[in-house]
Amino acid sequence: MSTMKFTKDHEWLKVEGDIAVIGITDYAQNALGDLVYVELPKMGRQVKKGEHFAVVESVKTAAEVYTPVTGEVVGVNDNLSGDPELLKKGLDEGWIAKIKMTSSDEMAGLMDQAAYDAFVKTLG
């Protein structure tokens, strides 16, 4: 069983056991516009909750992607290097990285879909 969570920085997580699959939300994708490059994290990198671990560049700007959990990068979506627009393809193709979490307690402060949708409405 997987659980979806969201951050105020517009990352999504699909959590399966101790693995968090991370991508950026539709809101972030729409704000960025046409994507031209994704800087992926290195396999085996240790990341701490709140630090940036990837960069998404568009024709408008570059945006850092922050990890919502602490752990080790155990998977990266190399397909994004050749086709950054895959980020817009949803969970199966549009993920950035997989992180083996050191503590699932960090998910307590994250939003579910309903809370995230309500948060986005406040951004106007």
Written as six digits, the tokens of 82 are 């050749």
Handedness of CA 26, 31, 34, 35 (dihedral sign): negative
Residue-averaged pLDDT of the chain: 94
Q: Does the pLDDT at position 67 exceed 80?
A: yes
Q: Does the pLDDT at position 124 exceed 80?
A: no
**Does some domain include residue 122?**
no
Band the pLDDT of 3: cuts 50, 70, 90: confident
Q: Does the pLDDT at position 38 exceed 90?
A: yes
Find the domain containing 30 and state its range: 3-103
How many CB atoms are closer than 10 A to CB 14?
17
Quote the pLDDT of residue 5: 96
Quote the pLDDT of residue 1: 62
CB-based contact 74:43 (threshold 8 Å)? yes
Give the mean model confidence (pLDDT) for residues 82-100: 93
Give the separation between CA 29 and CA 41, rounded to whole angstroms.
19
Quote the pLDDT of residue 20: 96
Band the pLDDT of 25: cuts 50, 70, 90: very high
**Does some domain include residue 113?**
no
Residue type, 114: A
Beta bridge partners of 72: 46, 100
**Does some domain include residue 112?**
no
Q: In whole angstroms, how large is the CA radius of gyration of the chain?
A: 13
Looking up residue 41, the CATH number of its domain turns out to be 2.40.50.100
Based on the structure, what is the number of domains in the chain?
A: 1
Quote the pLDDT of residue 90: 82
